[in-house]
C-alpha cells in the first residue's frame, strides 16, 4: 500500500496565547512547534498499516521552510519520504490548501506514482476548518470517511469506525480512498535516537505552489473575553480539605 | 434578500439543541429574510413542527429510504439540490461531526467557501463573521468571498433563543436526486459499546489529573475521591500521551468536552488544549503545587500544594463529614 499523510505544523501554545501586533497570528517567538495532534495519530496509523500490509508512507505538509522539522519528526516515526509545499509563512485558506495538495498528488500521479490511501487529521489544532481532506477527496473523485477512531484494511476495503452516541458506526470504503482520523485512534510511538538519525537522510521533495486569493479571508485574530480570572484560594496543603468540602456542599455535589 | 437554508439534525423527531443554535445563527445572517429548514431521516416532519417558534418559515423533509442510514454524500446532495431550488444567501448547520462533514462535502462539490464553528455573523455582503480557533481559545474574524456562504455554528457559543407566537412552518417532503456515488460512504453497521461507570461527558463532577499525578498508579487516589462523589475520572493530554490513562478519559480540545457542576483539576498546568475541554464546567477547582500555574487563571477555587497529600485529605474529610 502506498499511503500519503498530510500534516500541519502548529505552535505548542502552552497556557496563554499572545497575539502579534498586527493581530494576524499567535506570537510564537518563544514557542516550540509540533504536528497537529490528530495528524500525529494519522502518521502512526499509516506506519502501522504499512508494517502490516507492506508499502510505504509519504508525509506532506504545506507550510514555511521550518515545517521541515515536522516532516523530519514524521520520518523519525516511520514515514519514508516527505513533500514540503513551501509557503512564505502566511496562512492559506482551506480551498487554497486543498488545491495545492491536489496539484502535488496529481503531479505524483503523472510521474507514475499514486496513493491507495490518503490520511488527514479531522481538523487542525489551530484553524480547525474541518474541510481540507473532504475537498481533496472530491477533487480526486475518491470517497472519504471522516473523524475515525478505528481503521483497518479488509478485502481491499477500508473498514472505518466513527465514535457516535452509544457506540461506533462502521463504514466500508473501497480503495483508493481518503480518510481523516482523530486522536485516540492509536497511541503514537516516540522516535528512537537511531530513527531520528535515519530520518535526517530520508528524502524531502520541495515544491513552491502559487497562493490563490483567499475565499475565506482572515481579517484578524481576537482573544476571547473573560480571560484571566482570579481563583479564590481555599488554602494551602491538606489543611484546605474542610474548605473544599464546604465548597462541594455549597455546589450541591458533596 | 434571498433566504437562508438551515440543516436541522434531529433524533427520532426531536430537534437537537445544537441545531436550534444553528437556527439562531441563521437568523443573524437572514436579518428578517425567510428561513427554510432541511431535515433528513425518519421523524423529520415531527421535528419540523417544533421549528416555528425559532423563526423557520418552511421545512423540507427529505424522504428516501436510501437515506435511512447516514451517508454524508447523500446529505450533501440534499443540501445541494435545495441550493439550486431556493437560491439561498447562506446555508447553516450545527458544528457537529455531521454538520461540519456535510457542509464540507457541499463546499467541495460546489467549490464554495465554508466557515466552520462561527459564533456570530453579519448580514451584509460581503459577509463577515467571527469563528473559533484552537477549540475556542482564540477567535478569528473573517470575510467570505463567494456567491453563497456555508457556515456552521460553534457548539454552545450561540444562544438558541426562541421567538414567541410564530406559526408552525409549512412542511413539504421532497425527493432528493441521490445516486449511487452519493452512497459509497454510508454507515453499514452500528456497534454498541457497553458503558462502564459514570460518563465523562455527562458527569456532574469530574476529578481530573495531569502530569502532576506522576504515574498511572497515582490516579488511584483520584478514583477513590471520584467514587465518593459519583464523579467521572478525567485527565489531560500529557497523561494519555504517556499511556497512563486511555484516550477516552482525556478532557481537552482533542478529547472530550465536559460541562460538570464541578471540575477538579489535580496537577494540571492549564494548557489551552486542556482548558478548551473543561471551560464548560460551572466551577473549576484547581489543585496545583505551582502557585503560578496558568490553570489558576481559569479556575474559580484554588488549593496550592502537593496533590498527593491534598486529594486523600479531601477524601477523608468528605467521609468524616458524611459520617456525622
Three-state SS for B252-321 is: CCCCECCCCCEEEEECCCCCHHHHHHHCCCCEEEEEECCCCCHHHHCCCEEEECCHHHHHHHHHHHHHHH
- The residue of chain B nearest to residue A177, with distances taken between CA atoms, is B185
CA-based nearest distance A210→chain B, Å: 18
Rounded to an integer, what distance in angstroms lies between the CA atom of residue B278 and that of residue B250?
Answer: 10
Residues of A whose CB is below 8 A from B304: 233, 235-237
What is the secondary structure of B56-103 as a DSSP string?
Answer: EEEEEEE--GGGSS--HHHHHHHHHHHHHHH--SEEEEESSHHHHHHH
User: Rounded to the nearest 5°, which phi and psi values hold at B204?
Assistant: -80, -25
**B193: nearest CB among A168, A216, A244:** A168
B 81-110 near A (Cβ less than 8 A): 97, 100-101, 103-105, 107-109
Residues B108, A173: C-beta atoms closer than 8 Å: no
A 100-129 near B (Cβ less than 8 A): 123, 125-129
- The residue of chain B nearest to residue A16, with distances taken between CA atoms, is B272
B12, B42 in Cβ contact below 8 A? yes
B20 vs B48, B52, B54, CA distance in Å? 11, 11, 7
- The residue of chain A nearest to residue B294, with distances taken between CA atoms, is A15
Residues A222, B253: C-beta atoms closer than 8 Å: no
Residues B305, A227: C-beta atoms closer than 8 Å: no
Tell me if chain A has a CB within 8 Å of the CB of B180. Answer: no
**A134: nearest CB among B104, B295, B310:** B104
Residues B272, A145: C-beta atoms closer than 8 Å: no
Residues A244, B317: C-beta atoms closer than 8 Å: yes
Looking only at the bridges linking them, the beta strands covering A117-121 and A177-181 are parallel
B124 vs B7, B15, B116, B144, CA distance in Å? 22, 29, 19, 11
Residues B318, A245: C-beta atoms closer than 8 Å: yes
Residues B97, A147: C-beta atoms closer than 8 Å: yes
Q: What is the pLDDT of residue A214?
A: 96
Q: What is the pLDDT of residue B168?
A: 87
Rounded to an integer, what distance in angstroms lies between the CA atom of residue A231 and that of residue A20?
Answer: 28
Say how many CB pairs under 8 Å bridge A and B: 264
Whole-number percent of chain A with pLDDT over 70 = 99
Q: What is the pLDDT of residue B64?
A: 84
| Bridge partners of residue B222, in order along the sequence | none
A216, B271 in Cβ contact below 8 A? no
Cα distance from N-terminal residue to C-terminal residue, chain A: 55
Tell me if chain B has a CB within 8 Å of the CB of A184. Answer: yes
B55 vs A68, B10, B23, CA distance in Å? 51, 17, 8
Work out the pLDDT band at A227, boundaries 50, 70, 90.
low
Residues of B whose CB is below 8 A from A213: 145
Q: For the segment A107-149, what is each residue's pLDDT rounded down to a tens digit? A: 999 999 999 999 999 999 999 999 999 999 999 999 999 999 9
Q: What is the pLDDT of residue A124?
A: 97
Cβ neighbors of A68 (< 8 A, separation 6 or more) are A82, A84, A204
Residues B132, A126: C-beta atoms closer than 8 Å: no
Tell me if chain A has a CB within 8 Å of the CB of B308. Answer: no
Work out the pLDDT band at A225, boundaries 50, 70, 90.
confident
Tell me if chain B has a CB within 8 Å of the CB of A34. Answer: no
Q: What is the pLDDT of residue B12?
A: 85
Q: What is the pLDDT of residue A230?
A: 83
Rounded to an integer, what distance in angstroms lies between the CA atom of residue B171 and that of residue B301?
Answer: 50
The mean pLDDT of chain B is 95
Residues of chain B short of pLDDT 50, as ranges, are: 1
Q: For the segment B76-106, what is each residue's pLDDT rounded down to a tens digit? A: 999 999 999 999 999 999 999 999 999 999 9
Q: For the segment A176-191, what is each residue's pLDDT rounded down to a tens digit? A: 999 999 999 999 999 9
Residues of B whose CB is below 8 A from A217: 142-145
**B116: nearest CB among A128, A139, A170:** A128
Rounded to an integer, what distance in angstroms lies between the CA atom of residue A151 and that of residue A172?
Answer: 10
**B294: nearest CB among A15, A131, A240:** A15
Domains of chain A listed by start with CATH number: 2-250 (3.40.50.620)
A189, B206 in Cβ contact below 8 A? no
Report the residue of A238, A239, A250 to disrupt the B interface, i.e. the one with the largest count of B CBs within 10 Å: A238
Is the model's pLDDT at A43 over the cut of 80?
Answer: yes
Q: Please give the DSSP secondary-structure letter assigned to residue B234.
A: E
Residues B142, A237: C-beta atoms closer than 8 Å: no
Q: What is the pLDDT of residue A249?
A: 96
Q: What is the pLDDT of residue B165?
A: 67
CA-based nearest distance A224→chain B, Å: 6
Domains of chain B listed by start with CATH number: 4-183 (3.40.50.620), 205-323 (3.40.50.1220)
User: Grid coordinates in use for B209?
Assistant: 489529573
Residues B310, A237: C-beta atoms closer than 8 Å: yes
Is the model's pLDDT at A152 over the cut of 70?
Answer: yes
Whole-model pTM: value is: 0.96
Residues of A whose CB is below 8 A from B281: none
Residues B301, A170: C-beta atoms closer than 8 Å: no
Cell 455582503 sits at which residue? B125
A214, B142 in Cβ contact below 8 A? no
- Give which of A17, A12, A8, A15 is closest to A43, Cα–Cα: A8
To which H or E segment does residue A150 belong? strand A144-154
Amino acid at each position: 500500500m502506498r499511503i500519503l499523510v498530510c500534516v500541519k505544523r502548529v505552535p505548542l501554545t502552552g497556557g496563554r496565547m499572545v497575539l502579534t501586533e498586527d493581530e494576524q497570528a499567535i506570537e510564537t517567538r518563544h514557542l516550540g512547534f509540533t504536528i497537529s495532534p490528530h495528524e500525529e495519530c494519522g502518521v502512526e496509523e499509516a506506519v502501522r498499516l504499512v508494517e502490516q500490509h507492506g508499502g510505504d508512507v509519504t508525509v506532506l505538509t504545506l507550510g514555511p521552510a521550518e515545517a521541515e522539522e515536522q516532516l523530519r519528526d514524521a520520518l523519525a516515526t516511520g514515514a519514508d519520504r516527505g513533500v514540503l509545499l513551501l509557503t512564505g509563512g502566511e496562512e492559506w485558506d482551506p480551498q487554497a490548501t486543498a488545491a495545492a495538495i491536489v496539484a502535488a498528488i496529481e503531479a505524483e500521479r503523472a510521474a507514475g506514482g499514486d496513493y491507495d490511501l490518503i490520511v488527514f487529521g479531522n481538523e487542525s489544532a489551530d484553524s480547525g476548518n474541518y474541510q481540507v481532506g473532504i475537498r481533496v477527496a472530491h477533487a480526486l473523485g475518491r470517497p472519504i470517511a471522516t473523524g475515525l477512531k478505528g481503521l483497518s484494511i479488509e478485502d481491499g476495503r477500508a473498514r472505518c469506525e466513527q465514535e457516535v452516541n452509544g457506540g461506533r458506526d462502521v463504514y466500508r470504503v473501497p480503495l483508493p480512498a481518503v480518510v481523516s482520523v482523530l486522536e485516540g485512534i492509536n497511541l503514537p510511538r516516540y522516535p528512537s535516537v537511531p530513527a531520528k538519525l535515519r530520518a535526517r537522510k530520508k528524502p524531502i521533495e520541495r515544491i513552491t505552489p502559487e497562493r490563490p486569493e483567499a475565499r475565506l479571508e482572515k481579517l484578524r485574530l481576537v482573544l476571547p473575553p473573560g480571560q484571566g480570572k482570579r481563583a479564590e484560594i481555599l488554602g494551602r496543603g491538606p489543611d484546605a480539605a474542610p474548605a473544599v468540602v464546604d465548597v462541594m456542599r455549597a455546589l450541591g455535589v458533596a | 434578500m434571498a433566504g437562508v437554508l438551515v440543516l436541522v439534525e434531529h433524533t427520532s423527531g426531536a430537534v437537537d439543541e445544537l441545531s436550534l443554535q444553528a437556527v439562531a445563527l441563521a437568523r443573524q445572517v437572514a436579518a428578517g429574510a425567510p428561513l427554510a429548514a432541511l431535515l433528513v431521516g425518519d421523524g423529520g416532519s415531527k421535528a419540523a413542527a417544533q421549528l416555528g417558534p425559532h423563526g423557520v418559515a418552511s421545512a423540507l423533509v427529505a424522504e428516501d429510504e436510501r437515506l435511512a442510514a447516514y451517508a454524508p454524500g447523500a446529505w450533501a446532495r440534499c443540501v445541494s439540490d435545495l441550493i439550486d431550488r431556493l437560491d439561498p444567501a447562506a446555508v447553516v448547520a450545527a458544528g457537529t461531526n455531521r454538520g461540519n462533514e456535510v457542509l464540507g462535502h457541499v463546499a467541495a462539490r460546489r467549490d464554495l467557501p465554508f466557515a466552520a464553528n462561527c459564533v456570530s455573523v453579519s448580514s451584509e455582503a460581503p459577509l463577515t463573521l467571527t469563528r473559533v480557533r484552537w477549540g475556542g481559545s482564540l477567535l478569528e474574524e473573517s470575510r467570505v468571498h463567494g456567491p453563497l456562504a456555508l457556515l456552521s455554528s460553534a457548539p454552545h457559543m450561540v444562544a438558541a433563543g426562541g421567538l414567541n407566537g410564530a406559526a408552525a412552518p409549512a412542511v413539504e417532503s421532497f425527493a432528493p436526486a441521490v445516486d449511487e456515488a452519493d452512497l459509497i460512504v454510508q454507515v453499514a453497521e452500528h456497534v454498541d459499546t457497553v458503558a462502564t461507570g459514570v460518563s465523562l461527558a455527562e458527569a456532574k463532577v469530574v476529578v481530573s489529573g495531569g502530569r502532576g499525578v506522576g504515574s498511572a498508579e497515582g490516579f488511584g487516589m483520584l478514583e477513590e475521591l471520584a467514587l465518593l462523589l459519583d464523579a467521572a475520572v478525567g485527565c489531560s493530554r500529557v497523561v494519555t500521551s504517556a499511556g497512563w490513562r486511555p484516550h477516552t478519559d482525556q478532557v481537552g480540545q482533542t478529547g472530550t468536552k465536559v460541562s460538570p457542576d464541578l471540575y477538579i483539576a489535580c496537577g494540571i498546568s492549564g494548557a489551552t488544549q486542556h482548558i478548551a475541554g473543561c471551560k464548560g464546567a460551572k466551577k473549576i477547582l484547581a489543585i496545583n503545587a505551582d502557585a503560578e500555574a496558568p490553570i489558576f487563571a481559569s479556575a474559580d477555587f484554588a488549593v496550592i500544594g502537593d496533590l498527593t497529600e491534598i486529594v486523600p485529605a479531601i477524601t477523608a474529610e468528605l467521609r468524616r463529614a458524611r459520617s456525622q
